[in-house]
């Protein structure tokens, strides 16, 4: 008879969502079992004595015909094949798959303890597990009660529900990390997503102050899915490579600090290198968010090779509103944006009478579905206008 096993998955090297979704795919591809339930994708502070980056964590219920030992061997093989290097105990890893429970069996062998001996102390296990098996009993305690007894502060749902798996699988197939050589000789990283068919144009996706993070990659992937070669240059790489930040309060000071160390001429050189690459798709548009929204406007004013530009809630645009764009520009703002007063938006309108400026009933960051300020109605409306604009300008 098949049993239901609960697995805990974690990753804090590389793209955590992609790593966990790949592990799930391997479980099915290798016929380890069928995934019958999957938690949300969580971001969790590192637990344990080792100082290391935050983890992505999720839990899955797997219907399996394998014995506990065969299951352990199978998950260890997946970890090994995914390049997990055995180093420090509790240290950083591409993928970690723990067997949390196997039916209601208990096993106390040296290399296989089930239920997992430390699971009842760990919020990063219990919070995702409670989403799919709150009533499951671990010994005398339910998962729900165990969760109520641990400190779950700092845990955050990054993508609610189980759809993130499909999204991450598509994404991991679509985009890739590459290097861009800038005209001043400096090399920076970039994320490139290419469409399946003939491209409709090229886009340079300009990041917020949080790096080329999961959200910016998802934006690039969406534009690629819509037919554009999308290049997101890592504009923080000159200061510090591979900065990827989240939207919690913890990451904000580092985001502001890194952004404050960038220099406009260097950032423009980075964008120029991205434009050159995006030309493989045809004419090139810029699209940016937050800091990148300002850069999209600035790029349209100062760089050649830009056919059009779209800026979302660029807080710096009012300060450069008298510059002349060399290409058509479209701007989106939020009326509830605490960083950008509506007087700034008015100033831009007056200085740029030919630029369409749209104001939505939404807050700063409304396009980002990983922020609290996400506003689907505003994001959808702005995207529709943006897509029409690109379709008209880049053809
Ligand atoms: N082993 C025994 N029982 C089990 C079981 N139920 N499931 C043996 C899986 N393995 C089990 O594990 C070491 C050995 O434990 C295995 O060879 C197996 O025979 P490992 O996964 O290879 O090594 P490890 O992961 O470094 O040690 P351990 O103790 O399993 O660490 P944990 O508990 O997995 O902790 N913070 C957050 N926020 N999120 C995390 O996912 N993960 C860890 C790793 C630390 N901090 C974390 C997270
Ligand atoms: Mg482990």
Instruction: Out of 237, 270, 337, 363, pick the active-site residue.
Output: 337
CATH entry 3.30.70.560 includes domain 3-159: yes
Active site residue 337: yes
- 55-64 and 34-38: which strand pairing? antiparallel
Same fold, 3-159 and 176-393: no
Alpha-carbon span 365 to 290, nearest angstrom: 7
Ligand nearest to the CA of 101: 1
Report residue 58: phi and psi, to 5°: -155, 160
For residue 241, how far is its CA from the centre of ligand 1 (angstroms)? Answer: 29
CATH class of the structural domain 176-393: alpha beta
Active site residue 290: yes
| Residue with CA at minimum distance from ligand 1 atom 37 | 46
Alpha-carbon span 286 to 318, nearest angstrom: 18
Compute the Cα dihedral for 318, 323, 327, 328 and give only its sign: positive
Question: With contact defined as beta carbons under 8 Å apart, do 334 and 364 qualify?
Answer: yes
Question: With contact defined as beta carbons under 8 Å apart, do 105 and 98 qualify?
Answer: no
For residue 35, how far is its CA from the centre of ligand 1 (angstroms)? Answer: 21
Query: Which of the listed residues 43, 64, 96 should we mutate to test ligand 1's pocket, taking the one with most ligand atoms within 8 A of CB?
Result: 96
Question: With contact defined as beta carbons under 8 Å apart, do 285 and 390 qualify?
Answer: yes
- Where exactly are the structural domains of the chain? 3-159, 176-393
Active site residue 182: no
Compute the Cα dihedral for 85, 89, 91, 95 and give only its sign: positive
Task: Report the residue count for the chain.
Answer: 395
Ligand nearest to the CA of 91: 1
For residue 22, how far is its CA from the centre of ligand 2 (angstroms)? Answer: 17
For residue 89, how far is its CA from the centre of ligand 1 (angstroms)? Answer: 8
Tokens of 30: 């290798």
Alpha-carbon span 273 to 183, nearest angstrom: 7
What tens-digit pLDDT sequence spans the chain (395 residues)? 899 999 999 998 878 998 899 899 888 877 899 899 999 999 999 998 888 889 999 999 999 999 999 999 999 998 987 765 545 556 677 899 999 999 999 999 989 999 999 999 999 999 999 999 999 999 999 999 999 999 999 999 999 999 999 888 766 666 888 999 999 999 999 999 998 778 999 999 999 999 998 889 889 988 998 889 999 999 999 999 988 888 888 889 999 999 999 999 999 999 999 999 999 999 999 999 999 999 999 999 999 999 999 999 999 999 999 999 999 999 999 999 999 999 999 999 999 999 999 999 999 999 998 888 999 999 999 999 999 999 999 99
For residue 127, how far is its CA from the centre of ligand 2 (angstroms)? Answer: 17
What lines the ligand 1 site, CB under 6 Å? 10, 44-48, 55, 57, 72, 89-90, 96, 98-99, 111-114, 116, 118, 124
**Angle between helix 68-81 and 16-29 (nearest 10):** 130
Shortest-distance atom of ligand 1 to CA 118: 33
Beta bridge partners of 64: 3
């Amino acid at each position: 008879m098949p049993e239901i096993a609960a697995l805990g998955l974690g990753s804090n090297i590389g793209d955590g969502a992609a790593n966990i979704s790949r592990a799930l795919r391997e479980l099915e591809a290798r016929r380890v079992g069928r995934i019958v339930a999957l938690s949300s994708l969580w971001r969790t502070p590192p637990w344990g004595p080792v100082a290391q980056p935050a983890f992505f964590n999720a839990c899955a219920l797997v219907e399996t015909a394998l014995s506990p030992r065969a299951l352990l061997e199978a998950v260890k093989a997946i970890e090994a094949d995914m390049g997990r290097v055995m180093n420090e105990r509790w240290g950083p890893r591409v993928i970690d798959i723990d067997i949390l429970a196997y039916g209601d069996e208990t096993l106390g062998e040296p290399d296989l303890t089930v239920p997992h001996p430390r699971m009842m102390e760990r919020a990063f296990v219990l919070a995702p597990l409670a989403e799919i098996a709150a009533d499951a009993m671990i010994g005398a305690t339910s998962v729900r009660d165990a969760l109520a007894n641990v400190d779950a502060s700092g845990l955050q749902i990054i993508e609610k529900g189980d759809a993130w798996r499909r999204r991450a699988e598509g994404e991991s197939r679509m985009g890739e990390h590459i290097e861009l050589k800038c005209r001043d000789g400096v090399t920076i990283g970039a994320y490139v997503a290419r469409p399946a068919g003939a491209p409709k144009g090229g886009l340079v996706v300009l990041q917020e102050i949080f790096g080329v993070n999961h959200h910016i990659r998802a934006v690039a992937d969406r534009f690629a899915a819509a037919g554009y070669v999308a290049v997101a240059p890592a504009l923080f790489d000159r200061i510090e490579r591979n900065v990827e930040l989240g939207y919690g309060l913890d990451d904000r000071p580092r985001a502001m600090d890194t952004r404050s160390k960038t220099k406009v001429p260097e950032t423009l050189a980075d964008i120029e290198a991205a434009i050159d690459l995006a030309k493989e798709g045809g004419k090139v548009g810029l699209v940016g968010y937050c800091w990148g929204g300002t850069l999209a406007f600035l790029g349209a004013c100062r760089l050649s090779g830009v056919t059009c530009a779209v800026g979302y809630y660029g807080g710096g645009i009012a300060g450069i509103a008298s510059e002349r764009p060399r290409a058509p520009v479209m701007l989106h703002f939020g009326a509830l944006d605490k960083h950008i007063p509506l007087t700034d938006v008015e100033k831009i309108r007056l200085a740029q009478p030919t630029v369409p400026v749209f104001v939505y009933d939404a807050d700063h960051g409304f396009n980002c579905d990983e922020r609290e300020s996400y506003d689907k109605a505003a994001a959808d409306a702005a995207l529709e206008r943006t897509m029409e604009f690109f379709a008209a300008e880049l053809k």
